[in-house]
């Protein structure tokens, strides 16, 4: 929709400028985009290139030595622990993805189709957004008094006589990790899905109903297909955030569970930078492949 | 969507939404309440009296590393990141309105900045600084690391804003004889001001709360999130909750102020 409107408009803007001030009009976008390119070049591209280079270096307990070794990679890929850690991380990613997609879709659906006034929609959307603008660590810690051994849930259950003694696996477990991640990351699913749902032409529903579709058929054959781009963008956010997470896993599992990023962090604290770099390259390739796969479904530029 | 069914669907979803909000705010309010724990109280309910003891504790140096210093550093860093994010995103947003060579590559670089795991950026910048021989510091390396997280958000928001921005206003201004600077300053800028404030809010809060990217890049002095992260492993008193309450209340104030500013700007524009 926006694309069809914008394309001719963009050319009409560009033309007179080019005729009037030939040099400036042509150079302007380059000058305007230069700061972004410079910052991302210095703090994103260069560090990644450096990681790839360092991943081939030699190291001991004190320093790194320029070299061309593949041992860092064979150490990473040849170790059973690495594979188990990767599998564990992917398991977290899949579980958190499924939960945030389900919760995110229905929250967005409720906001988009059941709230009648725009003002109320915005208020409720903000209610969902505000916690996501506060500190992640504080939000993790906030589960301790709820899930802990003497926490709210356990004391309530014991008090009601439902369980004889406090449930141990509520906190410092994989359950706690997944719960905290869903708590931290659901908004990244709600926002893009809400955005796509709001753009669906409501007359499509009437058309579908007039054609004899039931409520579920409208949902399954009209709403969900049209919401797919939003789901894809939300998926990119959630999957990359979970794949990169080390703090939630560390804090919420009490050190009993592992993730790739946590493994990297431990290598970094032992100053084994080349080993961490080899791990980083493997993780980066995996994440970029996942994102590339999702981007085949959706053109981000069209969704903005 | 079916009219008879709608009421049932509405009620089910309303309950679901209410539970979601409870899920979001429940634990946070538990922390808020427990930070007023009495002097002999512990990390869980019940409250053992009510006191401000843990808030007072917060400002004693030995209890919590260096709360004042790390808070100040995070605040300054947040403002720096905010200003740069707003300016650079606005410029990039303007650039993307026209075609230029490398536009697609730059766009995907910004997207990549969003998806590259934060710890990789932290490690990469740390190693680059080490190899060049610069000392990492919160105002250099951590500053750059935070920008790789806030800029893509800013750029994508500006991209979305200009996608919906009709050039008719600019054409009208130009037809009335406005220079391109006048068109920008008096027509475009006031119209996108609320979005720019939003980008600023994102820039500040994302930086203020970020710690994965700060991990390897902050140098000698910790930012507030790093300080809190360190505390999670060795502090076992409600002073942790007091710190949580203070930073959360601060975040809420920043959000409220921003919303107020957006409403104010919007209303002023409506009056003109």
Mean pLDDT within B89-118: 91
Side-chain-facing half-sphere of A216: CA atoms under 13 Å:
0
pLDDT number for residue A94: 96
Residue A112 has pLDDT above 70, yes or no: yes
Q: Which B residues in the span 93-122 are in contact with A, Cβ-Cβ below 8 Å?
A: 94-100, 102-103, 106-107, 109-121
Q: What is the pLDDT of residue A17?
A: 47
**SS3 state of residue B177:** coil
Q: Which domain holds residue B183?
A: 65-234
CA nearest to B179 within chain A: A17
> Sign (positive/negative) of CA torsion A130, A124, A119, A188?
positive
Residue B242: inside a domain? no
pLDDT at A12: 44
Q: Which of A27-31, A38-42, A236-240 has the lowest mean pLDDT?
A: A27-31
Element (H, E) at A58: strand A58-59
Residue closest to B23 by CA, chosen among A163, A100, A246, A195: A100
Give chain B's mean pLDDT.
86
Mean pLDDT of A265-289: 90
Confidence band, pLDDT 50/70/90 cuts, at residue A243? very high
Q: What's residue B236's pLDDT?
A: 73
State residue B6's pLDDT score: 56
| Residues carrying CATH 1.10.3720.10, chain A | 75-303
Nearest residue, CB atoms, A44 vs list B99, B121, B240 = B121
Q: Check residue A14 and give its pLDDT.
A: 45
Residue pairs spanning A and B at CB distance below 8 A: 283
Q: How many domains does chain B have?
A: 1
Mind telling me how many Å the CA of A8 is from chain B's nearest CA? Answer: 11
Q: State the CATH number of the domain containing residue B196.
A: 1.10.3720.10
Q: Which of A134, A135, A244 sits opposite B118 (nearest CB)?
A: A244
Q: What is the pLDDT of residues B32-69, one digit of tens each?
A: 888 888 777 777 777 777 778 788 877 776 555 677 88
pLDDT tens readout for residues A135-160: 888 888 888 888 888 888 888 888 88
What ipTM score was computed for the predicted complex, to two decimals?
0.87
Please enumerate in sequence order all residues whose Cβ is within 8 A of that of A282, keeping only pairs 6 or more positions apart, or say none.
Answer: A73, A76, A77
Residue B153 within any structural domain of the chain: yes
- Token pair recorded at residue A9: 């408009």
Q: What is the pLDDT of residue A43?
A: 93
Q: Which of A32, A45, A239, A278 to mutate to test the interface with B (most CBs of B within 10 A)?
A: A32
Q: What does the pLDDT read at residue A7?
A: 42
Q: Residue A13 above 60 pLDDT?
A: no
Collect all residues of chain B within an 8 Å Cβ-Cβ radius of residue A301: 107, 159
Q: Which pLDDT score is estimated for B153?
A: 92
How high is the pLDDT of residue A18? 45
pLDDT surpasses 80 at B7: no
What is the tens place of the pLDDT at every residue in B208-238? 988 888 888 888 888 888 888 888 777 777 8
- A134, B251: Cβ pair inside 8 Å? yes
Determine the pLDDT at residue A209.
Answer: 86
- Cα A8 to Cα B229: distance, rounded to the nearest angstrom: 51
Cβ burial, residue B41 (10 Å; 0-12/13-18/19+): buried
Give which of B183, B197, B190, B232 is closest to B211, Cα–Cα: B232
- Single out the residue of B155, B107, B151, B115 nearest to residue A293, CA to CA: B115
In a domain, B266, yes or no: no
- What are the tens digits of pLDDT across the range A166-199? 888 888 889 999 999 999 999 999 999 998 998 8
Please give the CATH topology (third level) of the domain spanning A75-303.
MetI-like fold (1.10.3720)
Residue A100: Cβ-neighbour burial (10 angstroms; 0-12, 13-18, 19+): buried
Q: Which residues of A touch B257 (CB under 8 A)?
A: none
Range from A11-15, B26-30, B85-89, B187-191 carrying the lowest mean pLDDT: A11-15
Name the DSSP letter for residue B47.
P
Please check whether residue B118 is in contact with residue A244, taking contact to mean a CB–CB distance below 8 angstroms: yes
- pLDDT for the residue numbered B62: 58
**Best of B13, B58, B81, B98 to disrupt the A interface by mutation (most A CBs within 10 Å)?**
B98
- Inspect the interface and report whether the beta carbons of A283 and B114 lie closer than 8 Å: no
In this structure, is residue B28 part of a structural domain? no
- Give B83's pLDDT tier (boundaries 50, 70, 90): very high
Q: What is the pLDDT of residue A22?
A: 54
Average pLDDT of the residues in B172-195: 89
Task: Give the mean model confidence (pLDDT) for residues B117-129.
Answer: 92
Task: Indicate yes or no: CB of A284 within 8 angstroms of CB of B30.
Answer: no
């Amino acid at each position: 929709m926006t694309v069809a409107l914008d394309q001719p408009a963009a050319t009409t803007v560009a033309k007179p400028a080019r005729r009037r001030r030939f040099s400036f009009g042509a150079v302007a976008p380059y000058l305007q985009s230069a700061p972004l390119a410079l910052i991302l070049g210095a703090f994103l591209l260069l560090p990644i290139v450096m990681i790839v280079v360092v991943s081939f270096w030699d190291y001991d307990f004190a320093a790194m030595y320029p070299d061309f070794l593949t041992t860092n990679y064979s150490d990473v890929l040849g170790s059973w622990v690495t594979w188990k850690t990767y599998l564990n991380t992917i398991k977290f990613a899949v579980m958190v993805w499924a939960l945030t997609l389900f919760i995110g879709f229905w929250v967005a659906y409720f906001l988009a189709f059941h709230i009648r006034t725009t003002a109320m929609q915005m208020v409720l959307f903000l209610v969902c957004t505000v916690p996501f603008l506060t500190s992640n660590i504080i939000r993790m810690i906030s589960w301790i008094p709820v899930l802990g051994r003497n926490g709210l849930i356990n004391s309530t259950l014991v008090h009601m006589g439902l369980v004889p003694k406090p449930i141990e696996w509520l906190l410092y477990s994989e359950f706690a990790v997944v719960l905290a991640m869903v708590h931290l990351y659901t908004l990244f699913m709600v926002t893009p899905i809400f955005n796509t749902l709001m753009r669906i032409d409501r007359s499509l529903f009437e058309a579908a109903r007039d054609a004899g579709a039931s409520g579920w058929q409208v949902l399954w054959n009209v709403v969900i297909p049209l919401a797919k781009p939003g789901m894809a963008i939300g998926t990119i956010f959630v999957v990359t955030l979970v794949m990169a997470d080390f703090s939630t896993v560390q804090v919420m599992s009490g050190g009993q569970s592992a993730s790739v990023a946590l493994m990297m962090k431990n290598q970094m604290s032992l100053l084994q930078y080349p080993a961490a770099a080899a791990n980083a390259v493997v993780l980066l390739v995996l994440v970029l492949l996942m994102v590339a796969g999702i981007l085949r479904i959706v053109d981000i530029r069209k969704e903005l | 969507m079916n009219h008879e069914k709608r009421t049932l669907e509405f009620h089910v979803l309303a309950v679901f939404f209410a539970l979601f909000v409870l899920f979001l705010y429940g634990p946070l309010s538990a922390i808020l309440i427990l930070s007023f724990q009495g002097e002999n109280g512990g990390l869980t309910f019940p409250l053992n009296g009510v006191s401000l003891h843990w808030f007072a504790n917060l400002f004693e140096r030995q209890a919590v590393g260096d709360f004042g210093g790390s808070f100040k550093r995070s605040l300054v860093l947040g403002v720096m990141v905010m200003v740069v994010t707003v300016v650079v995103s606005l410029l990039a947003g303007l650039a993307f309105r026209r075609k230029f060579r490398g536009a697609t590559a730059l766009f995907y670089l910004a997207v990549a900045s969003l998806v590259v795991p934060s710890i990789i950026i932290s490690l990469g910048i740390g190693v680059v600084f080490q190899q060049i021989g610069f000392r990492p510091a919160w105002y250099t390396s951590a500053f750059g690391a935070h920008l790789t997280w806030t800029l893509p958000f800013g750029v994508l928001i500006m991209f979305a804003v200009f996608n919906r921005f009709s050039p008719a206003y600019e054409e009208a201004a130009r037809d009335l004889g406005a220079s391109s600077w006048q068109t920008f300053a008096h027509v475009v800028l006031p119209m996108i001001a609320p979005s720019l404030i939003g980008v600023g809010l994102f820039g500040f809060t994302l930086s203020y709360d970020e710690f994965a990217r700060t991990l390897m890049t902050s140098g000698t002095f910790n930012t507030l999130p790093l300080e809190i992260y360190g505390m999670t492993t060795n502090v076992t008193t409600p002073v942790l909750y007091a710190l949580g309450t203070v930073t959360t209340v601060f975040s809420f104030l920043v959000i409220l102020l921003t919303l107020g500013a957006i409403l104010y700007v919007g209303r002023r524009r409506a009056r003109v």
